[in-house]
C-alpha cells in the first residue's frame, strides 16, 4: 500500500478537512491542467474597498447556474455554463464526496505573486456547513488555515498537482484559509472549488 496516496484528515478542531493526494478524477492531472488553461474563460475580477476598485491578484471564472453577488466584488458576476470536462469532473467529485455541487469557482495563480487573502467561504447561499471540493493543478502552493477566533492557531498544507482537498463541517464557520504570495519563482497553478449554492439564499442584487 502506498501510504502517501491515502486520504488523510487534518487534525483541526471544529473543522473537517480531508486531503486526497491522488484521487481518481477520471483524467490525468497534466491533461486537465492543459485543457483548463486553454478552455476556461479566465477573467480579471475586481473588489471594492470603500471607494476604490482593486483588481484581484489572480484570474478567476465562475461556472454553473448561479449569479454571484459576493459582498466584496465590484461587479455582479455572470457564471458560464459547465463545459463537458468540468461537468464530468463535477460528477466524479460528487461520487467521491457523496455531496452535490452546482457551481464552481476557478482560480489561475499566474506566478508566485498571485495569491488569495484570508477568508472563509461563508456566503449565505452556501448554507451553514458547506462541503467544498477543491482540486489543485500545476505548481504546488501552500494552503494556510487559521482559527477565526484565535489567529495564533494555524495549520498549513502543500497542495500537490492533482490533489483534492475537501472542506466540510464547521471549517468555514471556525477557520479562515488563504494562499500567500511567494518570493521565489513559482509556475502557474489552477484551483477549482466546487460548491453547492442555494440561489434562494443569496444576497439581493444591488
Ligand atoms: O486556491 C486555493 O486553493 C483556494 C481558493 C479559495 O479559497 C477560494 O476560491 O475560495
Ligand atoms: Fe476559499
Asked whether the predicted pLDDT for residue 160 surpasses 90, the reply is yes
CA distances from 153 to 45, 59, 169, 174 (A): 31, 29, 18, 11
Distance 56 CA to ligand 1 centre (A): 13
Distance 116 CA to ligand 1 centre (A): 7
* Side-chain-side CA neighbours of residue 10 (13 Å): 27
Ligand 1, atom 3, residue with closest C-alpha: 191
Distance 190 CA to ligand 1 centre (A): 10
Q: What are phi and psi of 188, to 5 degrees?
A: -70, 145
Predicted confidence band of residue 69 (pLDDT cuts 50, 70, 90):
low
Question: Which of 139, 160, 168, 181 is closest to 12 using CA atoms?
Answer: 168
Question: Does the ipTM surpass 0.90?
Answer: yes
Distance 191 CA to ligand 1 centre (A): 7
Q: Is residue 50 part of a domain?
A: yes
Q: Is residue 195 part of a domain?
A: no
Residue 140, domain extent: 3-183
Residues of the chain with pLDDT > 90: what percent?
A: 81
Name every protein residue with a CB atom under 6 angstroms from any ligand 1 atom: 105, 107, 116, 121, 134, 143, 159, 177, 179, 191, 193
CATH of the domain at 118: 2.60.120.590
Q: Is residue 85 part of a domain?
A: yes
Q: Is residue 48 part of a domain?
A: yes
Average pLDDT of the chain? 92
Q: Is residue 64 part of a domain?
A: yes
Cβ-contact 108, 190 below 8 angstroms = yes
Confidence at residue 206, expressed as pLDDT on a 0 to 100 scale: 46
User: What mean pLDDT do residues 160-173 have?
Assistant: 98
For a mutational test of ligand 1's pocket, the pick from 70, 106, 177, i.e. the residue with the most ligand atoms closer than 8 A to its C-beta, is: 177
Distance 121 CA to ligand 2 centre (A): 5
How many domains, in total, are found in the chain?
1
Give the ligand at the shortest distance from the Cα of 143.
Answer: 1
Confidence at residue 199, expressed as pLDDT on a 0 to 100 scale: 76
User: What mean pLDDT do residues 144-151 have?
Assistant: 98
Around ion ligand 2, residues with a beta carbon closer than 5 Å are 121
Confidence at residue 203, expressed as pLDDT on a 0 to 100 scale: 61
For 16-63, how does the pLDDT look when each residue is reduced to its tens digit (9 = 90+)?
999 999 999 999 999 999 999 999 999 999 988 888 999 999 999 999
Burial of 53 (0-12, 13-18, 19+ CB in 10 A): exposed
Helix axes 84-97, 29-39, angle to 10 degrees: 130
* Side-chain-side CA neighbours of residue 14 (13 Å): 12
Q: Is residue 59 part of a domain?
A: yes
Give the ligand at the shortest distance from the Cα of 194.
Answer: 1
Confidence at residue 50, expressed as pLDDT on a 0 to 100 scale: 87
Q: Is residue 72 part of a domain?
A: yes
Residues of the chain with pLDDT > 70: what percent?
A: 91
Q: Is residue 198 part of a domain?
A: no
Amino acid at each position: 500500500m502506498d501510504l502517501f496516496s491515502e486520504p488523510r484528515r487534518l487534525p483541526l478542531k471544529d473543522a473537517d478537512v480531508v486531503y486526497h493526494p491522488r484521487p481518481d478524477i477520471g483524467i490525468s492531472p497534466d491533461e486537465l491542467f492543459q485543457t483548463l488553461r486553454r478552455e476556461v474563460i479566465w477573467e480579471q475580477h475586481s473588489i471594492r474597498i470603500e471607494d476604490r476598485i482593486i483588481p484581484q491578484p489572480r484570474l478567476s471564472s465562475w461556472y454553473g447556474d448561479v449569479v454571484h453577488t459576493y459582498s466584496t466584488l465590484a461587479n455582479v458576476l455572470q457564471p458560464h455554463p459547465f463545459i463537458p470536462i468540468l461537468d464530468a469532473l463535477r460528477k466524479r467529485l460528487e461520487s467521491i464526496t457523496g455531496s452535490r455541487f452546482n457551481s464552481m469557482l476557478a482560480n489561475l495563480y499566474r506566478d508566485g505573486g498571485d495569491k488569495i487573502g484570508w477568508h472563509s467561504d461563508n456566503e449565505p447561499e452556501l448554507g451553514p456547513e458547506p462541503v467544498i471540493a477543491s482540486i489543485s493543478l500545476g505548481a504546488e502552493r501552500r494552503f494556510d488555515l487559521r482559527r477565526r477566533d484565535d489567529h495564533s492557531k494555524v495549520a498549513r498544507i502543500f497542495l500537490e498537482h492533482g490533489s483534492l482537498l475537501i472542506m466540510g463541517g464547521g471549517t468555514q464557520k471556525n477557520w479562515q484559509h488563504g494562499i500567500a504570495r511567494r518570493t521565489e519563482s513559482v509556475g502557474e497553478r489552477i484551483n477549482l472549488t466546487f460548491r453547492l449554492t442555494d440561489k434562494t439564499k443569496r444576497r439581493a442584487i444591488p
